[in-house]
Each structure stands twice: as C-alpha cells, then as structure tokens.
Amino acid sequence: MRIGFNGREGLVIHNVNYNDTGTVRPLFYRMSLAEMFIPYGDPRPPYHRKHVFDSGQYGVGFSTNSLNAQLDCIGEVHFFNTVLNNKDGEAQEVERVVCVHEEDAGILWKHTDYRTGKSSITRSQRLAITFIATVGNYDYVFAWHFYQDGSIEFHVKLTGILSTHLLAVNATPAGHGSIVFPQINGQYHQHFFCLRLDAEIDGNQNSVATSDVVPGPGETGSTINPYGQAFTNERTTLRTAGQARTKIAPERSRTWVITNPQSVHPYTKQPVGWKLMPWASPPLLLRNDSPIHPQAEWMDFNTWVTPYHDDQMFPGGYYLNNSGLPEWVGRDENANIENTDVVLWHNFGLSHVPRVEDFPVMPEEHVSIMLKPYNFFKENPALDVRAPHFVPSQNFNWSSEK
C-alpha cells in the first residue's frame, strides 16, 4: 500500500494490494475518512447552532497532533512527517503525524482436537497505521488495522473533553443533556463518520450486493421447513446508484459485498469479493425539515454506491453547499454501478449521552467497521502464520507460605 496525508482528510491509504502466494491482487485504490458530522441535540438558543463538519469545515489533517513518540504509539514504530499549508498559505512541515507499527491482536486462529486434547494456535499481529486529530474539545484516534487473514479495520477512538455549559442554580438540562458536575451540563450529541472506499477487488470491474440472513421459506411442518428452523442468505445486487441508497439492518445481519464479476472463484463458481461489516449505528436524529438537514442529507443512508468520478471526493460536496451525494445520485438515479468502477460510501457512528464518568476528561469510546475477504482466497490465508515460540514458564509455588 501507499500512505498519503492531506489537510482535509488526514491519512489516506492508496493502492492496497494482497500478495497471494506470489500474485499481487488489488483490493482498494483509495480509502479515506471523507467527512465527519457532530450534531448536538439541545434546541435552545444559542446551542441550536452546534453542529460541526470536522473535515469539511476545519480539516481533520490540519487538526492533527504531532504524535508523542513514547506514549501515542509504542514498540517498534516508524513515524511519517508531512507538509501542510498554514493559514497564510505557507508550507510548513509537521512532524510525526502518522505512526506505523505492529501490535499483538489476540488469537488469530486455534483448534483443539477433542480426542487427543492437542491444540494448534497462533497469535495475530496486526499492522496499525494511526494518526490523532484534536478538533476543538474532542480528540480522535484514527487507525487502519491490517490483519494477517486479509481483514481490514477502520477504528476510531473518541476521547478528550465534553462540550459543556454552565447551568443557573437549580436549572436542569431540560431533557437534552446530563449533569456531569454541579451546574455543568454535558449536552447530548452524535458523532458520524463517512468512509470513502474506492474499490478495485481483483480489478476495476466491480459490483456491490447487500447480503441479508433471513428466515427460510415454508411454515413449520411444511416439507421444505418441517422443524421451522431454516434460514438462508439473501443476496440483492445493487444495479443503480438510486437502488444502492441502503441502510444497516442488524436484525438481518446485513453486510455489503463488493465483487468482481470478471474474477470467478474456482470452488464457489461465483465472483470473488470483499465484504463490509458495519457498526450498529444510530440514525441521524435531525428531522428532514430541519434547516440543518440539507447539509447533512448524505447521512440519510448508511451506504451509497456511485460510479467513479474524479471530482466526487466528499459526501457533502467540496464546499458543503447542500450538494454531494444527494445531488450526484439525484441527477441520475439510474446510473449504472454494476460491473464497473465504483466507489462505496459508508456512514457510521454513535449517539453520546454523557456520563459523570466522562468528566472532566473522557475515557475513550470507540466505533469501527471491518472489511473482510469474501470467497476471495482458496483457504484461510493465515495458515502460513507460524505459531509463536514461548519460553517455558517458571514453576510457581502457590503456597501461602512466604
């Protein structure tokens, strides 16, 4: 892969490939955090104006930290510097904006033979590519994690301080916040993140389908479902940009599968793919007739799929002027997204009801999404990861005697 950085998006990952036993197979041409939106839920002036687009208005990259070489990333670490412009338009170097290191990620795979008791196990070492941005009161830790089984994770940690305000004596948050300290209100709010994923799964000719797990047909006692326990996988190919405006469905275990119709798996006889596994995100709670909504209309769906265009980089448009995805798709809802060069946009996030424990400095909350191979390899690609070598442990005396 190739690592880039800019003032608006921060870290950008380019040209992600997988070396499959000597064959380099492309996966994603460009992956980035394209936008962030943080709306607050207190309708009383002046708090009704608290809604922030951190990327489009402030620039996540411009808000980046120079990483602490001892504490932000630990172990065997490589740091990248970058060059950004300051407010006068002059170039300035920013040191240690991105760190790259490996870290233990628990068990990679394991099996114990129930007959002999012997087990095979190996540990997961993931490659973490991380940067941290402080946008006003919040600190965001953004990390792309690359695993040995081909999985890719985008992981966000939220910390920093709450946006609070002072209450008059005996006043209450009126149902729109939490008292986190005497006369201090921590307002309810939401955090949303939009990923832009320019896919090239085994090449540029890609399609996208929703994959839902649903009950099987037939009533209990029928010949096709005699015991009533049947369920099946329902795949729906998204053929147009209009049809691709879709939402998460946790009750259906919904995922989105990006496939390459030109690359057929030798076992399944179906196109190879990569799937997006979403976070159980809340919906955007702005009403559709809110004057704020047009700027955030791209949040009306969790996933959009559009044909690739050079100038379509940000879901709310370049200037956040009520354009972006709703305008592009609305212009041509029948735009073909089947067996072509596509971009998948995914929105996810959380609703934050502050706790007393979030004050004065908030311990981290996190959200993440996974991208996993879906019938892409011929077997578990992590079978060649060697089991770790352990030094025999010391014999401990568990006696209470000293």
Over the stretch 301-343, which tens digit does the pLDDT of each residue have? 999 999 999 999 999 999 998 899 999 999 999 999 999 999 9
The model's pTM is 0.93
Query: Within its chain, how far is the Cα of 95 from the centroid?
Result: 26
Give me the pLDDT at residue 87, please.
Answer: 87
Q: How many CA atoms lie within 13 A of 243 on its CB side?
A: 14
End-to-end CA distance of the chain: 55
Q: Is 329 in a helix, a strand, or coil?
A: helix
Residue 146 in tokens:
């690359």
Residues designated catalytic? 54, 138
Report how far residue 207's alpha carbon sits from residue 47's, in angstroms, rounded to the nearest whole number.
43
In the CATH hierarchy, which fold is given to the domain comprising 2-374?
A: Beta-galactosidase; Chain A, domain 5 (2.70.98)
Residues in the chain with pLDDT < 50?
Answer: 393, 396-402
Q: Are 133 and 157 in contact (CB under 8 A)?
A: no
**Contact call for residues 34 and 194 (beta carbons, < 8 A):** yes
Integer Cα distance of 375 and 372 in angstroms = 10
HEC-encoded secondary structure of 352-399: ECCCHHHCCCEEEEEEEEEEEEECCCCCCCCCCCCCCCCCCCCCCCCC
At residue 387, the pLDDT reads 80
Q: How far apart are CA 153 and CA 128, in angstroms?
A: 9
